[in-house]
Chain A
Amino acid sequence: MVTKVSDTKKLLLKVNNLSVSFDTTEGSFDAVKSVNFDLKKGETLAIIGESGSGKSVTASVIMGILACPPGRIKSGEVFLNDLDILKLSDTDRRKLMGSKIAIIFQDTLSHLNPVFSVGSQIAECFEVHKNLSKKESWKKAVELLERVRIPNPSRRAKDFPHQFSGGQRQRVMIAMALALEPDIIIADEPTTALDVTIQAKILELLGELRDERNMGLILITHDLAIAAEISDKVIVLNEGKIVEKGITRDVFINSNHAYTRQLMNSIPGKITKQKKKTSKKFSDPILEIKNISKFYDTIACDNVSFNLFPNEVLGIVGESGSGKTTISNLILRLASPSNGEILYHGQNILNFNRKDLFNFRRKVQVVFQDPYASLNPTMNIYDIISEPWVIHSDFLDKKLHKSTVSDLLISVGLHPNDAIKFPHQFSGGQRQRIAIARALALNPEIIICDEAVSALDVSIQAQIIKLLSNLRNKFSLSYIFIAHDLPVVKDLADRVVVMKSGKIIEQGMVDDVFNFPKEKYTKDLLKASPSIENLIS
């Protein structure tokens, strides 16, 4: 997918000395600081950075959709074909939006208007810029849907965004961006929420369209592996500043800046683990999942069996709809299986009465994916962490609540003074630490981590994984670690279960499954997962 860069190609975009600040009630802060870069025809530039690095703000400025206020462009020029678009009037600017530069957003469910059909949203581009009739525009919209390989395009054009899968919605978004054959497409984290195999297809499609139309592509991403696979050159942003820029290969092989190296080191899948304590595997399992199935309107989980041993990390990987979360819900007894049994120390938890279940739940805790949604915004950290002891009132003497909350906060790497703060005062990674502290409160045997690091930046992800791994040794925990991201599982898990459409495809020791996958599906998954190794080797 890597294309050759040639300097003779026409310059499309030049960003000079761009600085953007945000005016908030707490004062103004600089989101983008003197950023320079350019883009030529047929070239792909990756802008790499973690949340808050200013990469999306830069894109908003180029697209003319930065909200001002609170945003303010302090200085800089953005030349599109020798025209400084920051100096244009709103009307002139609008004529370029969508027709010369188009953008593809990350969260397609919220970026497509829920109440209009996808066909009409694509057709709108032609109505706005080309004055085409409704009928002609619709016809073109259907053609575009066909181009991005939506099956049955003429029928599907009438459907609404929520009726498409995430990958298909991203294709719709791409069709919309492509409509007026722009010179430049900005893709802002285009595959972040997607499964690896879908991600690979979307990236392939983008690369293909770029070559077909000789467009310039700006790929904004936090994922270094994606940047490595698709881009010609990269800039690395940190706190609004470019810390490193250059040809992709050079930057990845000899990164000069400490921040780039730190990012590189955070890439999951590289940790070499200490020798595993295989002896543990011969002890009795804590949890035995025996032939469980769960039927909703569809089969969510089909005849699944596996064991969890003491102090073990069991990874469950699979794409969306594979039944990973259903299994987590069944173990937590948030849902009951249609068939099968779940044994906890040999006892079937499905036969538990209220009191047994109450005691069982003390032993099994959960950390969810979205640390923004899973913490009650109206409770402070002390209340959040101590709530389990209010529910399980015999667990801990009330006098000890305060000191134990402090201990827990320390053990997850936060400060005891954080107890009086509220969730919104923390970053995503810190919130996930709070969620982990809450899960630890009842001294559980098992913690289920349902995509617990998926929403986090790579460097934060690496920290949380390290924390989970330390806590496992300290408190002799077992984890069921659910993830769609294979390298993360490789870092943390001892054994892994690969799922697809509710069934277990393959299970075994992590090293065996990752290095010598037996099943085709596992191989496909591993192949689809982007990596920087291809670039470097």
Chain B
Amino acid sequence: MLEILNLHASVEGNEILKGINLSVKAGEIHAIMGPNGSGKSTLSNVLAGHNAFEVTKGSVLFEGKNLFDLSPEERAWEGIFLAFQYPVEIPGVSMTNFIKTAVEAKYKYQEKDAPSPAEFLKMMKEKQAMVGLAKSLAGRSVNEGFSGGEKKKNDIFQMAMLEPKLAILDETDSGLDIDALRIVAEGVNTLKKPDNAYIVITHYQRLLEYIVPDVVHILHDGKIVKTGDKSLAFELEKKGYDWVK
């Protein structure tokens, strides 16, 4: 599904990613762990298409397509989703309008008929319940006045609505209490299907107790320095990041 080859990327002239190689197949969950400043967020932003990051070398193929030929919105339509470390507040834009516009754009790109208003509302209700967003979203602006936990749940809600092929969760666990973390993880596990894949970026092993990865990578100074199964995460938790440096 995703083939990253020798990826180099920089921001404002500073090279952050220094040759990433990563291959993700449908049905897999990959965890990427690493200390602060190792390039975790840069990698997720580069994959989603943030224009502040410049790709200087290497290639990324997503379902056989060159990712760098696609705008951020095209990547979303193709099935890439980024759950933000810090979801953005958008005052004045209603949650309903926001997610409806996004879902309709995706259907249009795929040349499918968008769900009817009734179907759409039903879908919203179901997915909202799934991620434990108790308060109605209708009439609220995107993330405005949401608690930290609500914002993260809202991102997972959007993921559920958009049904991506590849979801990248960028430190979704940061700022979540243990109950919210469990609910978010349950949502992710419910959405897990044989034909989609996850890249879970996290600083701590905690999240991986709930979302169990098939592969764990350790990122250090812009490169993947170790790859293993889920036991690698436990080992890292015990020994600390100094161990991989």
Partners in one complex: no
